[in-house]
Structure 1
Amino acid sequence: MKIKFLLVLTSLFFFMSACSKDDNEVADNLETPVANAPKDVNDGGFKAKWNYVSNSKSYLLDVSTIESFATFVPNYNSKEVTDLNEVVVGLKGGTQYYYRVRAKSETQISDYSNVISVVTTGSSTIPEDPTFLKVKANKVANPFFVGMAIKASQLTTGSPYDLILKNEFSSISAEYEMKMDQISTSSGVYNWTTADKIVAYGNANGINVHGHALVWHNSVPKWLTDFAGTDTEFAAEVKKYITDVVTHYAGKVKSWDVVNEAVDDNGGNMRNTLFLKRMGPNYVKDCFQWARNAANTAGDKNLLLFYNDYATSTNIAKQDKVFSIVDDLKASNVIDGLGFQMHNTYLSPTKTQIETDLNRAVAKGLKIHVSELDIQVNQFNDISTFTNERRLAQKEKYKEMVKIYNALPAANKYALTVWGMKDNESWIPYSTDLNHVGNDWPLLYDSNFTIKSSHTGFLEGLD
């Protein structure tokens, strides 16, 4: 009986020791908390929020005006909080802040959470920076073109558009007037007038001209849509068009989006366009090869050829498909760069998502063109005026995008192009595809040609 009793005591001792060890392991390995978007943002503060962490007794909150947390807002350096939120007070209106949190249990402290960005409401007393964009971009360690999407009607000498373009921008892209349905009137017949005006303007003023775009499923002229010939004859018409346009602008247009938006948004498949149906799955490579051949024949050995698409930072299946196309084009030595449209919002994509996307292109040795940048602030149609909070949030998102781009290796930089000049002329508020028919203010200038905080944010991204 005595032996059995000793065995029971021994077993109980090991069981309790094991439990104690498990408890210590939990304490030693506190999960990292997840910080959430702030609530109740106002002129002087906001409510910081985060998720519960098992076994934590409290949380340590940091608040800073610097994303690296090199300094802290007074009273918010590892402030201990026992709840899952904290009302942060005593802040300045119209100011960018960042917060993060750690879980704590006795002497154990977790890793830092993700960093949350928040802009307090109210007006900042700091005036906008009037520095010209291209002037500052030309002074960075590895300069790049600062581009603008334009229309031929804006290029009248002495107009506000003309003055801004000459002062601020070193590259232009035609918003729609250099697409196939604008140039090709029938087989082998072209109306060059408007496109020629755009190209001549750039050449005369020392502004780079990026051609947009040779092949896009939404800019097919009616004569080609209705083409009754064989598929082989259809492909010959596309080849002729590409050859003639590249030849016409040889030495004048420095780069082309050869194919635009060939990948579907769902499932990472090829978009079921007229070109895919009539030319087959290799049509993208065929178009690039025809463009390359035309440039070489015309003696334009420096022409850069880009593939251009949108939403690849957040749609990973689409991103993967785009890069599979790129791999095929690189194997044939017919592509130089990749265009990332970046029709973004003030909330999305995240910095990490954008960097991951661009870095895949860097790894493949491609030039990168942020080709159609604009940043929506009213994608949910939840505001009727351009609020200070959204104004400053947009400023920070422009700053983030430019900072990401400016950090790219020199060999991979080409241009960062904003898709339009004035808010009231942007395509975004009028797009039924975006389900976003309403007010928005996505660009660098307001309806009166006045620079916005987004313009200052662009400049700050170059610091």
Structure 2
Amino acid sequence: MKIKFLLMLTSLVFFLNACSKDDNDAVETLETPVANAPKDVTDNGFKAKWNYVSNSKTYLLDVSTTEDFASFVTNYNAKEVTDLNEVVAGLTGGTQYYYRVRAKTEAQISDYSNVISVVTTGSNGIPEDPTFLKVKVNKSANPFFVGMAIKASQLTNGTPYDVILRNEFSSISAEYEMKMDQISTASGVYNWTAADKIAAYGNANNINVHGHALVWHNAVPQWLKDFSGTDAEFAAEVKKYITDVVTHYAGKVKSWDVVNEAVDDNGGVMRNTIFLQRMGPNYVKDCFQWARNAAIAAGDTSLLLFYNDYATSTNIAKQDKVFTILEDLKTAKVIDGVGFQMHNTYLSPTKAQIETDLNRAVAKGLKIHVSELDIQVNQSNDISSFTNERRLAQKAKYKEMVKIYNAIPAANKYALTIWGMKDNESWIPYSTELNHPGNDWPLLYDSNFAVKSSHTGFLEGLD
């Protein structure tokens, strides 16, 4: 009798567990799939890919020509797929598409995955838009400066550089010649030649001049590196330099990057520079205060002061530290805006990452300068020539960046500056820090001064 009872009890427990398991399976929510970068991109198609979702029987694939999926490519509206990839065919060359995917069982459908952008190779037969950048920007509802990084040697009347600058751009930034080690030759001794030429060119051609940069750890003159005085005397030398430069260019340079790249790439802490070591953790605020005081003393009450840094869209610890500094400077009423360098690639940062970064500055009431924009297409050195696929992917990324910037409130707009004119003169292929010895084509003009698809993408971003 006891054995029968135990058998019945065991059966009952097994039955209840089975029912419980069935019930749990029934209510278990499908995970949202993750869509991956496409493979095998051609003129008329690509392979869409995504990650496996446990318990999913099939996947529903959407493909659209619009990021909001307001319409769908024929046959790709919730197309049911049993594999983890699908060859999308019958598309148009040189065209941007978007795809997303959902997981599905008999009874459930998951949320949508992330959205992946892909540009088919080839050409859609449309020539590059010849419209001048600043002309289109100035016709927009809330215009902003369109900037270019330049060298003094490029500013000779009648050269291709000169013609393009005057036609296309409303702002210039010195690529290197307004930094401390270029101007300051000894304590109180200055070489103004190149910087004066840049400022004079801008002023003569009604082009805004943005000063870059008063304090940067990679542009410290040797005499200051070797300075043997006390830390207080070192700070006094930095104050004197900032005061003299801001005074010299009062009314001629309309904005300055006061401090450049003060935050480390690792851990969200201050970069361990000579300025931090000798002036302490408040050195950034001190430099801004000295610049503000110098401008006011020179009668330049409209000078705009910016903090400038890079890689804050993807490095959240760095982003948080930068915004802690910005909050401190904002409270002290010594800052007007922030420069986001945006040395990006055709894959990164994402649209959402850039928007999050910029919107934090909008929320603080700061002006935004996309200050050093270029877009690498060969960051992994996996191509030896500028392919159609990368050309069009770069075009799409420039369009995305301009569209994001153009959408911010008018009060927060300042300038969007491209970091150089021609691909073959960009810093990117030659940078040892980027570990990027291969070719790249990151700008708006090729080596012959011809506009590229990236230039058209910039214009399309304004639509």
Per the normalisation by structure 1, the TM-score is 0.96
Match of 1:77 in 2: 77
Match of 2:133 in 1: 133
Could you report, residue by residue, the CA deviation over 1:16-67 in whole angstroms, capped at 9, with x for unpaired residues? 55334322212xx222111111112222211111111122211111111211
SS at match of 1:198: helix
SS at match of 1:108: coil
Distance 1:349 1:315 in 2: 10
Question: Percent identity between the aligned chains?
Answer: 84
Match of 1:18 in 2: 20
The Cα of 1:123 is off from its aligned counterpart by: 2.8
Distance 2:31 2:316 in 1: 27
SS at match of 1:213: strand
Q: Is 1:257–2:257 an aligned residue pair? A: yes
Q: Is 1:324–2:324 an aligned residue pair? A: yes
Q: Is 1:247–2:247 an aligned residue pair? A: yes
The Cα of 1:120 is off from its aligned counterpart by: 1.7
Match of 1:53 in 2: 53
- One-letter amino acid matched to 1:283: Y
The Cα of 1:110 is off from its aligned counterpart by: 1.4
Over the residues paired in the alignment, what is the CA RMSD in angstroms?
A: 1.8
Q: How does 1:268-287 map to 2 (within 5 A)?
A: 268-287=268-287
Could you report, residue by residue, the CA deviation over 1:346-393 in whole angstroms, capped at 9, with x for unpaired residues? 111111111111111111111110000000011111111100000000
SS at match of 2:218: coil
Match of 1:423 in 2: 423
Distance 2:26 2:327 in 1: 50
SS at match of 1:235: helix
Distance 1:44 1:252 in 2: 52
Match of 1:186 in 2: 186
Moved over 3 A (4+): 3-20
Structure 1 range deviating more: 261-270 or 117-126: 117-126
Distance 1:241 1:266 in 2: 30
Q: Is 1:444–2:434 an aligned residue pair? A: no
- Count of residue pairs the alignment pairs up: 461
Distance 1:54 1:132 in 2: 52
SS at match of 1:229: coil
Distance 1:131 1:177 in 2: 30
The Cα of 1:314 is off from its aligned counterpart by: 1.0
Distance 2:108 2:364 in 1: 43
- One-letter amino acid matched to 1:206: N
Distance 1:437 1:13 in 2: 66
Match of 2:216 in 1: 216
Distance 2:10 2:395 in 1: 69
- One-letter amino acid matched to 2:267: G
- One-letter amino acid matched to 1:196: D
Structure 1 range deviating more: 390-399 or 108-117: 108-117
Structure 1 range deviating more: 39-48 or 79-88: 39-48
SS at match of 2:227: coil
Q: Is 1:337–2:319 an aligned residue pair? A: no
Per the normalisation by structure 2, the TM-score is 0.96
- One-letter amino acid matched to 2:185: T
The Cα of 1:341 is off from its aligned counterpart by: 0.4
Structure 1 range deviating more: 443-452 or 115-124: 115-124
Distance 1:12 1:348 in 2: 52
Match of 2:435 in 1: 435
Match of 2:157 in 1: 157
Match of 2:115 in 1: 115
- One-letter amino acid matched to 2:27: E
The Cα of 1:152 is off from its aligned counterpart by: 0.9
Distance 1:240 1:134 in 2: 37
The Cα of 1:122 is off from its aligned counterpart by: 2.1
Distance 1:143 1:81 in 2: 46
Match of 1:302 in 2: 302
Distance 1:159 1:169 in 2: 15
- One-letter amino acid matched to 2:170: S
Structure 1 range deviating more: 134-143 or 383-392: 134-143
Could you report, residue by residue, the CA deviation over 1:194-234 in whole angstroms, capped at 9, with x for unpaired residues? 11111111111111110000011111111111112211111
Give structure 2 stretches of 5+ with no counterpart: none
SS at match of 1:271: coil
- One-letter amino acid matched to 2:402: V
The Cα of 1:150 is off from its aligned counterpart by: 0.6
